[in-house]
Structure 1
């Protein structure tokens, strides 16, 4: 399957953007008062949002890699 250079760049940018956003979210989650019970254990709020963060990191990585591979494949064809 071939994807256009514009689509490849969009996917790559989306992957990078996803990492920037979710790193910030993970830091904020860790520092949140709602994330930790008084005894120091994680709350359900923390667990749910940690799973969401990990899934988003994985999907952002996959999308970014697809974009990177598309950009690289396009540059080899046009050279």
Structure 2
């Protein structure tokens, strides 16, 4: 399957966004002082475990999407570079006779 340049960059940006958002979320969840994430004894509550599971799952899915975007962007760049070099080679062969000066 081939992705467009726009879709590739979107997936890559989504992956970067996921890293930023979910790492920040877990950091804030860990520091939570409202009593939702940790009880009076300092033990994690079910709220903590549910939200940590959601965050880790979203982080992993965002990472997978970002990797797909990165691989697609890199493939498009390689393809573009190959097309440019093939076009330049054809133009050189069409416009100039073969002159070998090594002899």
Give 1:55's aligned residue. 57
Give 1:74's aligned residue. 76
Larger radius of gyration: 2
Gaps of 5+ in 2: 82-103
CA root-mean-square deviation:
0.7
How do 1:1-79 and structure 2 match up within 5 A?
1-33=1-33, 34-79=36-81
| CA–CA distance in structure 1, aligned partners of residues 14 and 20 of structure 2 | 10
State the TM-score, normalizing by the size of structure 1. Answer: 0.95
1:20-57 deviation per Cα after TM superposition (whole angstroms, max 9, x unaligned): 11111111111113111112211000000000010011
Determine which structure has greater relative contact order: mean sequence separation of CA pairs < 8 Å that are 6+ residues apart, divided by chain length.
Answer: 1
Q: Which has the higher helix share?
A: 1
Equivalent pairs counted in the alignment come to 79
Runs of 4+ aligned residues of structure 1 deviating over 4 Å after TM superposition are none
